[in-house]
Structure 1
Amino acid sequence: MPETKDRSALVRIAGNPAPAGLVGGYLKTSDRRRLRYAIAKVPGASRGTVILLQGRNEAIEKYFETIGDLNDRGFSVVTFDWRGQGGSERLLARRNLGHVGHFGQYLVDLECVMQDLVLPDCRPPYNLLAHSMGGLVALHASARHANAIERMVLLAPLIGFPADVPSLTTLQRLTGAARWLGLATRPVRRAAMPGRLTDADDNPLTSDPRRYERNLRIAAKAPELFVGSPTVAWLSAMSRAMARLQSSAEIAALTVPTLIVTAGADRVVASAAAERLAYRMRCGSSLRIPLARHELLQEADRFREQALEAFDAYVGEEAAVAAQ
């Protein structure tokens, strides 16, 4: 259940204003984990509610600009920090590690946000906008929420790792053996993972130096919101969840209309794997934004606007009816 709302839970820095009316707070999940959330409702006529799902090692503050843009387009927004990152409860004493016990825990997080925040207190239709790891969670949760979620737009979803990372089969074997040896909470060697931060020009996340520096300043102001290396358990959970999406039976269960938007210059996830999944889904389609890097909502305007327009166009029909 939601706890008392607390605006001070959200970190503010110069150059990253919080959207008007944004309210932060905490809720307890069914397995008693504390999640930080934020809600920004639009006054008057609404086109419905967007459930905004973040990627790994992200926080609500990175999405202030996007929340404001969605509000300007007539959408209320609900977002939250996954357990183990952002302002949500950490799962290990070593707070700097990105950890989850098993993939189902992320499904519990989304389930509780839907049941405690979205369905009782937010206006339909409900559309889901997810980035990276959030897209992987959205796909696995979609069958459970098919009666509530109208459409999903997944930006650079984590469906596969790039070619320089070992195959999913190899990752499952290695992480399974490591867990059996009691190493589930050990960090994965950072250099082995894609998406490492480098300099502003060559980083794999965004070609926009202003947004890149803004996100670095958020991390400098509130380092407690972010994590470093993922653990063996996190990598095991992700590799197994991605592998399940190669099954025809799993794909057949995906019935929520879904648009997958890939980044043409993505070095963090495998765009081709996401596009193959969209092709195999009976309710899926894909769109590639050439030259864009992984974090489409943190990218330069020429790429970011394409992602926002794709979302608006894809959910527009149902949203327009709601606003009338």
Structure 2
Amino acid sequence: MFYSHSTSLLDNQSAIEQHWQSCTKGNITTPFGEIFYLRQIPEHAKYTLLLVNGRIESAYKYKELLWELGNNNIGVVTFDHPGQGFSSRLLANRQIGHIDHFKQYREVLEQIISKQVLPYTNNWLFLAHSMGGAIVRNYLAHTPNTTAKGAFLSAPMFAINTAPYPVWFAKWVANVACKLGQSQQFAIGQQPYQSKPFSDNELTGCSVRYQQFRSLYDTYNVLQLGGVSFGWLYAALAETANTNKQQISIPISIASAEHDSIVNSDAHSRFAARQEQCFVKTYPGKHELLCEIDAIRQAVLAQCYEFAESVTLKETGS
């Protein structure tokens, strides 16, 4: 398999950009506004990954990964969630990450699958990160007859780190705030987008990829998104409370980060213990395993590729 390396990332920017330009991009209209999508499925792809990214993220952030997948003859479909990236924002204040109900994420995902995946392939699976993992779990819990072959989840948001407050207290405060009409306001401690220095970041140990991420958001101000609303917080905490309540019918593989301060990694093993087809592997990295240092990132992608090949059809062109 072909893997990108941080030491040659800058030298490969021209090729990465050329691949990005070759992808099909557009918008689909939903009840939650225009949703940006990207699709690149080679005629004889090994299989196709539906990349479901995390909070504040965008397809633009994954240019390096999209280029790698193309080099490995793997199809990909991805999109920006409602309220972030190049999709329509849900509030007049673009800096507040907001959602009314978590099922809104699922409803957009269902449209992406219907319009950008199923017309082009029946040999596909999920690749999801963080909040994307929670959205995929929600979808799978409500769609036992899905045609997805499996789901690879990177640091899925199965439990949120609400420190210094316990989860029950954070959920109670968010619920009260929503009932008082503050659902669309920043939750306590949340603020507009800030570009933190690498030395102070909680996302990755790779300085090259971190600086690329920050430069991207500095170049495209439209991508910038701050903290979450009380509404988002309550919806997310209500959703994660349901994580272990349903059996998922398809195989799942989880990459968990040992030094994750964004989500609670212990929830990954608890979830896996209740599933019949779920495997967890832990890596000595931070939250963004798909943007980590080369050794960790390559091991995570190798886990993803091995899992994908084990659950998808072996013949090409399917």
Is this a same-fold pair by TM over 0.5?
yes
Task: Please tell me whether residue 26 in structure 1 is matched to residue 21 in structure 2.
Answer: no
Counterparts of 1:96-111 in structure 2 under 5 Å? 96-111=95-110
Q: What displacement does 1:32 show?
A: 5.2
Q: Which amino acid aligns with 2:24?
A: V
Match for residue 131 of structure 1?
129
Match for residue 10 of structure 1?
none
Query: Take 1:60 and 1:268, find their aligned partners in 2: how far apart are those partners?
Result: 20
Match of 1:229 among 227, 234, 237: 227
Cα pair distance change 1:14/1:100, threshold 3 Å: farther
Match for residue 82 of structure 2?
83
Q: What displacement does 1:22 show?
A: 1.2
Query: Take 2:278 and 2:173, find their aligned partners in 1: how far apart are those partners?
Result: 32
Deviating above 6 A after TM superposition, structure 1's stretches of 4 or more consecutive aligned residues are none
Q: Which amino acid aligns with 1:276?
A: R
Match for residue 168 of structure 1?
167
Query: Take 2:205 and 2:194, find their aligned partners in 1: how far apart are those partners?
Result: 14
Q: Which amino acid aligns with 2:27?
A: Y
SS in 1 for 2:314: helix
SS in 1 for 2:200: coil
Q: What displacement does 1:320 show?
A: 5.4
Match for residue 322 of structure 1?
315
Match of 1:216 among 211, 214, 218: 214
Q: What displacement does 1:145 show?
A: 5.9
Query: Take 2:69 and 2:280, find their aligned partners in 1: how far apart are those partners?
Result: 21
Cα deviation 1:80-110 (Å, max 9, x = unaligned): 0000000001110001111111101001110
SS in 1 for 2:153: strand
On the 8 A contact 2:140/2:146 being kept in 1, the answer is no
Range with bigger deviation, 32-41 or 231-240: 32-41
Query: Take 1:18 and 1:39, find their aligned partners in 2: how far apart are those partners?
Result: 15
Q: Which amino acid aligns with 1:19?
A: H
SS in 1 for 2:60: helix
Match for residue 281 of structure 1?
275
Q: Which amino acid aligns with 2:246?
A: I
Q: Count how many residue pairs are aligned between Structure 1 and Structure 2.
A: 303
Counterparts of 1:120-159 in structure 2 under 5 Å? 120=119, 122-143=120-141, 144=143, 146-159=145-158
Cα pair distance change 1:18/1:104, threshold 3 Å: farther
Q: Which amino acid aligns with 1:24?
A: K
On the 8 A contact 1:35/1:83 being kept in 2, the answer is yes
Match for residue 8 of structure 1?
none
CA RMSD of aligned residues (A): 2.2
Cα pair distance change 1:163/1:323, threshold 3 Å: same
Q: What displacement does 1:251 show?
A: 2.6
Give ranges in structure 1 of 5+ residues lacking alignment: 1-12
Q: Which amino acid aligns with 1:321?
A: K
Match for residue 295 of structure 1?
288
Match for residue 297 of structure 2?
304
Query: Take 2:129 and 2:107, find their aligned partners in 1: how far apart are those partners?
Result: 18
Q: Which amino acid aligns with 2:263?
A: V
Match for residue 6 of structure 2?
none
Q: Which amino acid aligns with 2:298?
A: E
Q: What displacement does 1:163 show?
A: 6.5
Match for residue 5 of structure 2?
none
Match of 2:266 among 264, 268, 272: 272
Query: Take 1:190 and 1:55, find their aligned partners in 2: how far apart are those partners?
Result: 20
TM-score (norm: length of structure 1): 0.88
On the 8 A contact 1:125/1:322 being kept in 2, the answer is no
Cα pair distance change 1:25/1:199, threshold 3 Å: same
On the 8 A contact 1:96/1:227 being kept in 2, the answer is yes
